[in-house]
């Protein structure tokens, strides 16, 4: 059985859509970058800490992930207010940014870790568009302050890399990691 160390409904839905069932056991860890830590190191560390924090039986596979948005080397986590979401959108509009997801799989004392990177280009946005989106409430639990699968889909001009990574979980990468770890998928 796969144990998803996340309370993200998007991650659970992405796995379900790929035919991968899981139990949910959220990991409550502090998500704060360390001094001198690169964004890639940050998401990889958080994914591993989440995988380590969850109780699991001998036959269970623990899957953990952490997603962040990076622009000009600055990590954009989840905004706590509409004002913070608007500030993030002002940084992202009319340019590209990276979406990084650290993924960690734990099984029988072994760990498999990867970082998926996707580049996203946003169209230039008018201030009233930024304000309206920030007020919508959608940005508040999303890294970088937007949901590419939601209202913000109209802002994403193009992406380079895995779309599902931007939603919150690089499904193909997870599938390959599970295969490498010896997980046996049921057909159908």
- pTM assigned to the model: 0.93
Residue 90: count of CB within 10 angstroms of its CB: 14
State the chain's maximal CA–CA distance in angstroms: 53
Per cent of the chain over pLDDT 70 is 99
C-alpha distances in angstroms, 158 versus 101, 144, 163? Answer: 18, 16, 10
Cite the active site residues.
66
Structure confidence at residue 150 (pLDDT): 95
Which residue, among 39, 142, 134, has the nearest Cα to 90 in the 3D structure? Answer: 134
Q: Domain spans of the chain?
A: 2-180
Low-confidence residues of the chain, pLDDT below 50? 188
Structure confidence at residue 141 (pLDDT): 85
CATH code of the domain made up of 2-180: 3.90.950.10
Q: What is the pLDDT of residues 73-86, one digit of tens each?
A: 999 999 999 999 99
Structure confidence at residue 187 (pLDDT): 57
Q: What is the pLDDT of residues 159-176, one digit of tens each?
A: 999 999 999 999 999 999
């Amino acid at each position: 059985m796969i144990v998803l160390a996340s309370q993200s409904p998007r991650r659970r839905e992405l796995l379900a859509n790929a035919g991968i069932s899981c139990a949910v056991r959220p990991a409550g860890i502090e998500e704060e970058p360390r001094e001198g830590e690169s964004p890639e190191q940050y998401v990889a560390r958080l994914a591993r800490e989440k995988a380590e924090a969850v109780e699991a039986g001998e036959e269970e596979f623990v899957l953990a992930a952490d997603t962040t948005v990076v622009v000009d080397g600055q990590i954009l986590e989840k905004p706590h207010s509409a004002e913070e979401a608007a500030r993030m959108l002002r940084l992202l509009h009319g340019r590209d940014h990276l979406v990084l997801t650290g993924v960690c799989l734990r099984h029988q004392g072994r760990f498999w870790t990867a970082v998926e990177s996707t580049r996203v280009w946003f169209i230039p946005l008018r201030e009233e568009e930024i304000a309206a989106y920030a007020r919508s409430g959608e940005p508040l639990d999303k890294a970088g302050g937007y949901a590419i699968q939601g209202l913000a889909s109209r802002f994403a001009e193009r992406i380079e890399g895995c779309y599902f990574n931007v939603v919150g979980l690089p499904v193909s990468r997870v599938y390959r990691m599970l295969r490498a770890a010896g997980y046996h998928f049921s057909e159908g």
